[in-house]
Amino acid sequence: MNAPTPFKQHLIDPEICIRCYTCEMTCPIGAIEHNDDNVVVDADKCNFCMDCIPVCPTGSIDEWRVVPDRDQAYSLEDQYEWLELPEQAPIEAAPGAEEGDIDDAVAALLAEAHKGAGGKARPPVSAVKPQVNMYNLGKPAEMTVQGNYPLTDDAGHDVHHIILDPGALPFPVLEGQSVGIIAPGTDAEGKAHLPRLYSVSSPRDGERPGYHNISLTVKREEGGIASNYLCDLEKGATVRVTGPFGATFLMPNDPEARLLMICTGTGSAPMRAFTMQRQRAGGGRTGGMTMFFGARTPGSLPYFGPLKKVPDSLLRQHLVFSRLEGQPKEYVQDRILAERAEVADVLSDDKTHIYICGLKGMEDGVDSALTEVANDMGQDWITLRDRMREEGRYHVETY
Ligand code: NAP
């Protein structure tokens, strides 16, 4: 009989996963599946191609455990039961094997982990612990539409502010978390639609203070099942909601933490929630917030009007437009470079947290701009970024 060989198993962190199912749709060999509760990886199928790693918006896909032998890998049934990932269990040496050999093998296998997504996402140290996965596909929360308001005056770019009321149902959310919306009906294969994810744009005590209702910022997508359903909702209608999801893209509770928020389009949703939370918390000095917000035009920038009323002392705003008539295209990364001294000042503060949300395509440009800013400071951006991520101060949610 062969001696057992430690086996590195690919897993998904159920606490951090936001059930967007992007990994499942990306996996080329069908090794990822889900039920009403969790998204899981089949150890018998996964070939470590890593295609699913960069597409995950939270890094929850980038989890690995070493088990004593392939036969002892966590089963799909085990994974479906989990509310959180099990700790790495100690691996015992097989009879006759040297203890040190096994330790080295485990260390080498785990050292490879977290390379794909650039590191494991971590919540801010001072963040409140969020509730996650209270409602799922099999048991969604039913919420009532309290309001549905157009936010933009651009016919080709219809964005709505939608307010949902959970009524007596407990549905605690923190700023930065997301919810899933289940559109009614079935897809072309007759299967029920999977929930589509939307970031919550209201603060923790509700869109209306003390009411614990939530708001979403939804752009109508051509042919989009959930976005058209949401944008067309009438007041009083009932909506099925899953979640809340997300345990890392959260704001620090430390009022002195400084926030650098970089967003495009509807990626501004969590930034609105952060700003409102700080506004409502009121009192005393805060570390301040700086936002780079990119949109096509002022007419297509969600919350343009209300934003103009937020004082500079609370939020330094850089609103950046890419389609202004007679003007060159400008992206958030261009403005970061134009304001490099201000950004360097923010980056050099150990209390700074960075939040990037919106189009996936912005990530590279923002990385390059921050590389230049860090160079000005005599620092290497990748080293600084990875340290910030380790410390729960670097947060990205793009798709
Ligand atoms: P949009 O209006 O299409 O774009 C917003 C701005 O970003 C425009 O000025 C656009 O310029 C610019 N842009 C395009 N490519 C860029 C790049 N490579 N780097 C920097 N800026 C770039 O945005 P949207 O339709 O609202 O879409 C927002 C995206 O955010 C969606 O993909 C949505 O799924 C995502 N989102 C994510 C979350 C989340 O992760 N939690 C939450 C909400 C939304 P152009 O004039 O060139 O188009």
The residues spanned by each domain of the chain are 7-111, 141-245, 258-398
In this prediction, residues 141-170 reach a mean pLDDT of: 94
Nearest alpha carbon to residue 250 among 322, 308, 142, 172: 172
Same fold, 141-245 and 258-398: no
In this prediction, residues 278-290 reach a mean pLDDT of: 84
Crossing angle for the helix pair 362-376 and 340-347, to the nearest 10 degrees: 80
* Domain 141-245 annotated CATH 2.40.30.10: yes
Nearest CA to ligand 1 atom 3: 265
Tell me the three state secondary structure of residue 210.
coil
In this prediction, residues 33-45 reach a mean pLDDT of: 94
Identify the active-site residue in 178, 199, 215, 268: 199
Catalytic (active site) residue 399: yes
Which CATH architecture is the domain 258-398 placed in?
A: 3-Layer(aba) Sandwich (3.40)
Nearest alpha carbon to residue 159 among 96, 201, 189, 121: 201
Pocket of ligand 1 from Cβ distances under 6 Å: 57, 178, 199, 219, 264-267, 269, 294-296, 322-323, 331-333, 357-359, 361-362, 365, 397-399
pLDDT of residue 115: 44
Class assignment of domain 7-111?
alpha beta
Atom of ligand 1 nearest to the CA of 333: 20
Q: Residue 21, by phi and psi: left (phi above 0), alpha (psi -120 to 50) or beta?
A: left
| Strand ranges in the chain using DSSP code E only, listed in sequence order | 7-11, 32-34, 39-41, 63-67, 141-150, 159-165, 178-182, 196-199, 214-219, 238-245, 258-264, 289-295, 315-321, 352-358, 394-398
Tens-place pLDDT, residues 73-90? 999 999 999 999 999 888
Identify the active-site residue in 198, 229, 303, 331: 198
As to burial, measured by CB atoms within 10 angstroms (0-12 exposed, 13-18 middle, 19+ buried), residue 29 is exposed
Instruction: Report residue 187 as tokens.
Output: 């897809």
Report whether 277 contacts 251 (CB < 8 A).
yes
Question: Cis before residue 244, ω within 30 degrees of 0?
Answer: yes
> pTM of this prediction?
0.87
In this prediction, residues 18-32 reach a mean pLDDT of: 91
Tell me the three state secondary structure of residue 271.
helix
Contacts of residue 370, Cβ cutoff 8 Å, sequence gap at least 6: 336, 343, 347, 381, 385
**Mean pLDDT rounded to a whole number for the chain:** 90
Catalytic (active site) residue 199: yes
Atom of ligand 1 nearest to the CA of 57: 40
Angle at 304 between CA 300 and CA 308, to 5 degrees: 160
Q: What are phi and psi of 110, to 5 degrees?
A: -75, -25
Angle at 171 between CA 289 and CA 253, to 5 degrees: 30
Q: By percentage, how much of the chain surpasses pLDDT 70? A: 91
Q: Which of 42-46, 64-68, 89-93, 149-153 has the lowest mean pLDDT?
A: 89-93
pLDDT of residue 105: 60
Tens-place pLDDT, residues 198-228? 999 999 999 999 999 999 999 999 999 999 9
pLDDT of residue 116: 41
Of 83-87, 109-113, 281-285, highest mean pLDDT: 83-87
How far apart are alpha carbons 66 and 80 in whole angstroms? 19
Top mutation candidate among 20, 174, 264 for ligand 1, by most atoms within 8 Å of CB? 264
How far does residue 360's CA lie from ligand 1's centre (Å)? 8
How far apart are alpha carbons 19 and 58 in whole angstroms? 10
pLDDT of residue 37: 87
- Report residue 114's pLDDT band, with 50, 70 and 90 as the boundaries: very low
Q: What is the DSSP letter of 135?
A: B
Report whether 242 contacts 137 (CB < 8 A).
yes
pLDDT of residue 117: 44
- Report residue 272's pLDDT band, with 50, 70 and 90 as the boundaries: very high
